[in-house]
Amino acid sequence: MAGSEQDNFACKGDNSTTIPRSSVIAQLNDELRCRARDGQLAITSGIMDLGPRAVPAVLEAVRSFDQFSPNNNPYGERDFGALTVLGHRIFWKIDYYDRNLQFGSPDPADPAVTTRVLTIMLAGEY
């Protein structure tokens, strides 16, 4: 929804301060990526084929990823990362679906109508 009217939407925090919409989405994305909460995780066969020692290393690297910049995070949603783990180039991406996983979410800032899916893949699988 980048570039849409919803980009200007802001949410009210608990202390009645306005929180930018992208920050709300970023916080929800971090809950999934860092804490495995409020979403689903998909690991590709390429990651699984790296072996039983590599998979936990990849998961930890994704969980602890903090190298966000305007180049890889232009909308401030923290929904993508690229990193190298054990010599393998890894991509991770968070997508926003409706609760039935049939269509895109009508509002990624609203967890009541959104299912987040974190996909972790080898760069060559993208």
Segment 38-63, tens digit of pLDDT: 999 999 999 999 999 999 999 999 99
Structure tokens at 77: 């949603």
The residues of the chain scoring below 50 in pLDDT are: 1-13
Q: How many domains does the chain have?
A: 1
Q: Residue 82's closest CA among 26, 124, 34?
A: 124
**Domain ranges, residue 57:** 5-125
Instruction: Measure Cα distances from 86 to 26, 41, 51, 54, 89 in Å.
Output: 27, 21, 11, 7, 9
What is the CB neighbour count within 10 angstroms for residue 54?
Answer: 17
- By the 8 A CB rule, do 90 and 58 touch? yes
Residue 34 parent element (H or E) = helix 21-35
d(CA 111, CA 57): 29
**Structure confidence at residue 34 (pLDDT):** 97
- By the 8 A CB rule, do 92 and 80 touch? yes
Q: Residue 67's closest CA among 92, 50, 45, 46?
A: 92
